[in-house]
């Protein structure tokens, strides 16, 4: 694996999301990886709950009519994107036959969602895996993502090699239900891990139909999970345990 670039906030008042790009030459894959909340500025972005208009980037799809997104997540992504765009396009030009993988956890899952739409509307074919993704936008944005990744008549139960969006949720993880008020909605594409710990068995994975499915992550009771203290623990356990490595007030700025 070759590290291409890393990016993040440059100081304590910079709100860019953190992450890195890497290239797997053996598999011919370009990886865009976004980190979850670990810093003060990340936390501030999380709680900026107002919405902003969301406009698609590229000319390959119609604009996202009436779409709105979580202001904190959208700003954090846009700040980072302005810094890593050149590194990204350089990698695409250098490795035109490599596939694109996009992933992130928590706030990084939100960034992965936004980045997936960005890449899709620019004509790329990203494979997006978002773990513990909070709610990012309104109903129009959720529908737009579904149309981009699943077509005009979405089949969220498909599991073939051409599926490109996987939204992972976990038993008792409440982050995918936050913010829990209007106008926020989750898109389809949920894969629910109905297992308390990391490294779940295959039969604990549930492919969920529709948006905000009440039989998947939304079956987790918010009050009960919060009172019993299981919500935070559940948020950091998916296929692996996500740790708080690299906790800092700010991350190093982008470099090649």
Residue 112 has pLDDT above 50, yes or no: yes
d(CA 153, CA 177): 25
pTM: 0.87
Chain mean pLDDT for the chain? 86
SS3 content of the chain, % helix, strand, coil (to 5): 30, 20, 45
- Residues 166-179 have pLDDT tens digits of 999 999 899 999 98
In the predicted model, what is the mean pLDDT of residues 76-87?
93
Whole-number percent of the chain with pLDDT over 90? 67
For residue 83, the tally of other CB atoms under 10 A from its CB is: 15
Residue 50: the pLDDT is 83
Residue 255 has pLDDT above 70, yes or no: no
Structure tokens at 235: 């948020």
Domain residue extents for the chain: 2-164+206-211
Residue 9: the pLDDT is 78
Specify whether domain 2-164+206-211 bears CATH 3.40.50.1820: yes
Residue 223: the pLDDT is 61
- Residues 35-68 have pLDDT tens digits of 886 543 444 444 456 899 998 777 767 789 999 9
| Strands 68-70 and 51-53, bridge-based pairing | antiparallel
In the predicted model, what is the mean pLDDT of residues 219-223?
75
Q: Are 54 and 69 in contact (CB under 8 A)?
A: yes
Residue 213: the pLDDT is 94
């Amino acid at each position: 694996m070759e590290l291409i670039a890393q990016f993040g906030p440059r100081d304590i008042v910079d709100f860019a999301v953190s992450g890195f790009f890497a290239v797997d030459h053996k598999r011919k894959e370009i990886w865009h990886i976004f980190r979850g909340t670990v810093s003060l500025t990340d936390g501030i972005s999380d709680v900026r709950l107002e919405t902003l208009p969301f406009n698609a980037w590229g000319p390959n799809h119609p604009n996202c009519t009436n779409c709105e997104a979580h202001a904190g997540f959208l700003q954090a992504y846009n700040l980072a994107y302005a810094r890593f765009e050149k590194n990204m396009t350089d990698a695409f030009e250098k490795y035109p036959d490599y596939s694109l993988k996009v992933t992130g956890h928590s706030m990084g899952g939100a960034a992965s969602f936004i980045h997936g739409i960005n890449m899709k509307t620019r004509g790329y074919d990203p494979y997006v895996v978002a773990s513990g993704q909070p709610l990012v936008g309104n109903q129009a944005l959720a529908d737009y993502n579904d149309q981009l990744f699943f077509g005009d008549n979405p089949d969220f139960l498909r599991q073939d090699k051409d599926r490109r969006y996987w939204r992972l949720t976990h038993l008792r993880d409440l982050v995918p239900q936050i913010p829990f008020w209007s106008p926020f909605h989750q898109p389809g594409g949920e894969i629910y891990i109905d297992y308390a710990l990391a490294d779940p068995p295959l039969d604990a994975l549930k492919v969920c139909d529709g948006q905000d499915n009440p039989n998947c992550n939304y079956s987790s009771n918010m009050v009960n999970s919060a009172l019993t203290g299981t919500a935070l623990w559940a948020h950091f356990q998916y296929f692996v345990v996500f740790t708080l490595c690299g906790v800092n007030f700010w991350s190093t700025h982008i470099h090649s």
